[in-house]
Structure 1
Amino acid sequence: MDFKPIKTKKIYEEIVEQIKQMIVHGDLNPGDKLIPERELAEKLEVGRSAVREAYRALEAIGIIEIKPGEGTFVREMGFKSMTDIMSLAVQTGKNSIFELLELRKIVEVEAAALAAQRRTEEDIQMIKKALDEMEKDIQKGNLGDISDIKFHYTICAAAHNSLLNKLMSSISETMKREMVTVREKLYRVPGTPTRLLEEHKKIFEAIIKGDELEARKTMFINLDNAEKGFME
C-alpha cells in the first residue's frame, strides 16, 4: 500500500481521496484489509484522528466496512459497490470519462442493432417520447442531458436483454454526471445542439425501419462524435 504523506488543511479528505484512487486503480480490491489507523497515520505523517475520520467517511458512503475486533475492509463487490466504483472512476478526471464514453460505444452500438431487430410498438413510442423531450429541451436552450439519457436507455430497453438492462442500471448515476460534463463542453461549439438532435433522429429512424446495420452506424457516429468533441 503505497500511501503518500499528507500536506493539506483538509487532511481527512486527502486520505479519503488516496484510498478512493487506490480502489479505482486496483491497488485495493474488494475484501482487502486496510492497515490499522495508527500505522496508516504514521505512513501519512498525520494524526490518528484524521485517519479515523477518513475511515468513517468511507464507511458512510459504503466503500469500506469496519468490523470491530477484525479490522477495516474494502467492501465486497455487489450491485451497489459496482455502481460506487464506477462513480469513483469517473470522478478521477478526463481520462475516466473518456473510458466511460468508450464503454458506451462498446455496449450501445450493438444495443441499437438489437433494438432495431426486437423493438415493439411500445418501445418505439417510448423512444419517440424521449426524442421529443430532447427537441423541446434544445429549443429552450437547455442541456437536454436527462432526455438524452432517457433516449439511450429506452433503446437499450428495446433490445430486450435483461443483463444489458442490469448493466445500464448499474452505471445510471455515473452516466448522468458524465452526460452533464460532456454536454456542457460540446455545447460551447456553435451548432452542436442541432447536430446532436439530428444524430438522434437518424438513430430512431433506423430502429423504426428495423435496419440493424444503419442503427449500429448511426449510434456509433453519435457516441464517437461525443467522445471526440469531449477529448478536443
Structure 2
Amino acid sequence: MKEKYLNTFKEIILEKPVDKIIQQIKELISSGQLKPGDKLPSERALSELLGVGRSHVRDAIRKLEFYGILKTLPQSGTVVAGLGITALEGLITDVLQMEGRDFYALVETRVLLETNAARFAALRRSDDDIVAISNSLSDYEKAVSSGGDSVEYDLLFHLKIAEASKNPVLKSLMLIITPDILTHFKKNNVCAGNRPVSALEEHYKILDHIKKKNSEKAAESMRSHLQEILNFSTNENPLEKNNGKRK
C-alpha cells in the first residue's frame, strides 16, 4: 500500500548561493528597483548585504556579465545592461535553468575550449608557463597520492594551460562554465575510483606535448582526456537519450 505514494515525492533541490544572488537581482529588475544603467554596490558591499562570501558574488556577477545582463565599466563599477526589462528577465531565467541538455552543452563547450587551449599553449607557451603548469600538476599528483579531493587541483592544471594559450577570453569563458560542471561532478561522484590516477597520466602526456610544442598532439591528448566526461554528460542529456544517440 505504501508503494503507491512513492511517485508523489519530489527531489529537494538546494539552491546554490550564486543562483540565489542571481534570483535577487532578477527580482530587483522585475520590481523596477534596478533599471538599465543603474550601478550595483561593490562586491564587498554586496557580500556584506547578502551575508555570503565575495567569491559567490564574483561568480554571480561574472555569469551575468557573460550573458550580457550586467557590464563592468572602467572606473564606474558594475551596471545593469541597457536592455529592456522583459529581455533581462528572460536572460536571467535562462541562466537559472541550466539543467539536463544545458549541462551537456556546458561540457561540450568545455571540450571545445580546452582542446584549443592546449593547441594554442603548445604554440605560444613560454618557459615560465611550463614551470607554472608543471607546478600545478605536481600539486594535483600530491592530492591524488594522498587520496584527498583533487578536483580543485585538476581545475588549476587546466587553467594554467589556458593561461599559456595567451588568450584571456578563452580563460575567462572557462572560468564561467567550469564551476557549474565541477559542482555537478562532485554531486554525482564522477571523479571517484581510479579516475584521478588515470587522469594524472593523461595530464603528463598533455604537458609533454605542450613542452615539445606539438600543437596537434596536445589538442588530441586533451580531447581524449575529456572524452570520459563528455560521455558522462551525454548520458545526462535527455535529448541524447531520447534520440538514442551516443557520442
| Fold conserved between structures, TM > 0.5 | yes
Name the stretch that deviates more: 142-151 or 206-215.
142-151
TM-score by length of 1: 0.61
Q: 1:117 to 1:87 in 2, by over 3 A?
A: farther
Q: Distance in 1 between matches of 2:133 and 2:92?
A: 26
Alignment RMSD: 3.6
Q: Percent identity?
A: 25
Counterparts in 2 of 1:46-195, with a 5 A limit? 60-61=24-25, 64-65=28-29, 66-67=31-32, 79-83=62-66, 89=95, 92-169=98-175, 171=176, 174-182=177-185, 184-188=188-192, 190-195=193-198
SS of the aligned residue for 2:200 comes to: helix
> Does the Cα contact within 8 Å between 2:132 and 2:160 map onto a contact in 1?
yes
> Does the Cα contact within 8 Å between 1:108 and 1:156 map onto a contact in 2?
yes
Report how many residues are paired.
Answer: 172
Amino acid at match of 1:212: S
Deviation (angstroms), 1:82: 3.7
> Does the Cα contact within 8 Å between 2:22 and 2:92 map onto a contact in 1?
no
Q: Distance in 2 between matches of 1:100 and 1:217?
A: 20
2:215 is matched with which residue? 212
| Unmatched segments (≥5 aa) in structure 2 | 1-12, 39-60, 68-90, 236-247
Structure 1 ranges of 4+ moved more than 6 A: 84-88
> Does the Cα contact within 8 Å between 2:104 and 2:230 map onto a contact in 1?
yes
**Greater Rg over alpha carbons, structure:** 1
Q: 1:109 to 1:59 in 2, by over 3 A?
A: closer
Deviation (angstroms), 1:137: 1.1
Deviation (angstroms), 1:185: 2.8
Q: Distance in 1 between matches of 2:92 and 2:166?
A: 24
* Residue-by-residue CA offset, 1:136-175 (whole Å, 9 max, x unaligned): 1111212311111111111111011232233334x0xx42
Q: Distance in 1 between matches of 2:227 and 2:93?
A: 22
> Does the Cα contact within 8 Å between 2:114 and 2:162 map onto a contact in 1?
yes
SS of the aligned residue for 2:189 comes to: helix
Amino acid at match of 2:128: E
Counterparts in 2 of 1:18-57, with a 5 A limit? none
> Does the Cα contact within 8 Å between 2:202 and 2:221 map onto a contact in 1?
yes
